[in-house]
């Protein structure tokens, strides 16, 4: 369980807060972290990973503050950033040294992940394409088995086969009690797997909750034309996704991209009010 308690963070004393009184509770499952550029997504990931300390509030993960410097506690959380340097000649060499700090690392899962990505693990970092480098990093971090795994734009640079493999690996390697947070602009890449979402806007969290909560409040229905009676309508390749108050819990599947757009539209107040009923 991740508890974000009134977190404020600024890059400098006079700077506009990158995070402004952010609060949320995040349970186990796969969560989408979405927001416009500059909304505070990466900063929030850094706070949860213990790489940035809030000026106000706190982040608590399974009862331990993210600011803890206890090596045992640090071994339960990992953040893979969008562009991240892994020292060593190849991913095997890096894993042999780095995995010693993560008691939940599984060698068998690591080998299977490499195979799914079409890699041996012996490819030299210095001669790998950006896409294959990302695949090797993902193969490793998905084998760590940490309680909280955060992935910042994990599908960037991946080809179609790599994105398909990533979906499969997330679905097969996640433990029921694990929390995986994916910060991405490419919502559709993993859309069928998300158990919930955190939607950010202008340094604040507009919504944090599960798919079950969303589907109990909002229905998503496609039609040939926009419905003026809908809470929100969005053109999706010539057809329209309409959002309505849900009549029955779980009557429709959540369209995370449409929900994100709705929360960033002039109908955001209506959407948030419906979600909070």
Q: CA–CA distance from 245 to each of 197, 220, 255 (Å)?
A: 19, 9, 14
Residue 160, number of CB atoms within 10 A of its CB: 7
Give dist(CA 226, CA 262) in Å, integer.
14
What's the confidence (pLDDT) of residue 95?
A: 97
Instruction: Supply the DSSP symbol for 17.
Output: P
Q: What does the alpha-carbon distance between residue 141 and residue 247 come to, in Å, rounded to a whole number?
A: 41
**Residue 68, pLDDT score:** 76
Q: What is the pTM of this model?
A: 0.92
**DSSP H or E segment with residue 151:** strand 148-152
Topology of domain 2-202 in CATH is: Rossmann fold (3.40.50)
* E strand or H helix at 259: helix 256-263
Contacts of 158 by beta carbon, 8 Å cutoff, 6+ apart: 131, 134, 135, 166
Would you kindly state where each structural domain of the chain is located, as residue ranges? 2-202, 208-277
C-beta neighbour count of 265 within 10 angstroms: 15
Give me the tens of pLDDT residue by residue for the chain, a chain 277 residues long. Answer: 899 999 999 998 767 899 999 999 999 999 999 999 889 999 999 999 999 999 999 999 998 888 876 777 777 999 999 989 999 999 999 999 999 999 999 999 999 999 999 999 999 999 999 999 999 999 999 999 999 999 999 999 999 999 999 999 999 999 999 999 999 988 888 988 999 999 999 999 999 999 999 999 999 999 999 999 999 999 998 999 999 999 888 888 999 999 999 999 999 999 999 998 8
């Amino acid at each position: 369980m991740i508890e974000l308690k009134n977190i404020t963070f600024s890059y400098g004393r006079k700077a506009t807060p990158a995070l402004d009184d952010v609060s949320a509770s995040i349970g186990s499952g796969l969560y989408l972290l979405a927001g416009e550029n500059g909304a505070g997504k990466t900063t929030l990931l850094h706070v949860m990973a213990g790489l940035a300390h809030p000026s106000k509030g706190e982040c608590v993960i399974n009862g331990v503050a993210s600011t803890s410097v206890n090596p045992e506690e640090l071994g339960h959380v990992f953040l893979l950033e969008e562009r991240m340097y892994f020292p060593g000649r190849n991913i095997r060499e890096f894993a042999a040294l780095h995995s010693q700090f993560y008691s939940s690392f599984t060698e068998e899962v690591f080998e299977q992940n490499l195979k799914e990505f079409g890699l041996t693990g012996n490819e030299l970092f210095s001669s790998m394409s950006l896409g294959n480098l990302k695949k090797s990093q993902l193969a490793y971090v998905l084998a760590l088995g940490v309680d909280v795994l955060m992935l910042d734009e994990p599908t960037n640079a991946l080809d179609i086969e790599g994105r398909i493999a990533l979906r499969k690996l997330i679905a097969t390697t996640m433990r029921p009690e694990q929390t995986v947070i994916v910060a991405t602009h490419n919502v559709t890449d993993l859309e069928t797997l998300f158990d919930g979402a955190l939607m950010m806007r202008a340094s604040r969290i507009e919504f944090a909750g599960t798919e079950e909560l969303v589907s109990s409040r909002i229905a998503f229905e496609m039609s040939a034309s926009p419905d003026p009676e809908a809470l929100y309508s969005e053109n999706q390749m010539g057809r329209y996704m309409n959002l309505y108050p849900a009549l029955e819990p779980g009557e429709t599947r959540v369209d995370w991209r449409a929900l994100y757009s709705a929360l960033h539209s002039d109908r955001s107040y209506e959407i948030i009010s419906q979600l909070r009923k």
